[in-house]
Amino acid sequence: MVNQSSGGPPFCALCGSLLSIPTHDKTASCPTCLHLTPAKEFEDAINITQSRPGFFEKHRVGHASRRAAAAELAAAELGKGATVREICPKCGHDEMSFRTMQLRSADEGATIFYTCTKCSYTYKLNN
């Protein structure tokens, strides 16, 4: 990816964060370190950004892939959660570990994964 600019840097001189070019203020405030850059440095600024074909495609992960990756991670970490007094439906043991993960959209409840600390039986509960 190539970034060319003339007429003033669009990046903070201290931390390198991308700056928003001010419209009415006399300074641009860095969103990361709050360093102030005089607005006159942006006068007549021309910024051109180019990327090679397919650059963004390799960074894109589909919804189904994210869900599968989250489920795989949850399965790998099932036995590492906190423990609660919960009866195992398989062996009747009274202690299970649990973990929660947000596998569905943000406006829906988290998924709770329970694992029996005795027999390792697992199940999930969608709230």
Tell me if 91 is assigned to a ligand binding site. yes
Q: Is 90 assigned a ligand-binding role in the annotation? A: no
Tell whether residue 119 is among the known ligand binding residues: yes
The C-alpha atoms of residue 25 and residue 84 are separated, in whole angstroms, by 55
Candidates 103, 96, 101; CA nearest to 82 is 96
The answer on whether 88 is annotated among ligand-binding residues is: yes
Residue 15 in marked binding region: yes
Q: Which two tokens stand for residue 6?
A: 């003339």
Closest CA to 124 of 69, 94, 91, 81: 81
92 annotated ligand-binding residue: no
**Residue 79 DSSP code:** G
Cα–Cα–Cα angle for 41, 18, 31, nearest 5°?
Answer: 100
Binding residues for Zn(2+): 12, 15, 30, 33, 88, 91, 116, 119
Would you list which residues are annotated within the binding site?
12, 15, 30, 33, 88, 91, 116, 119
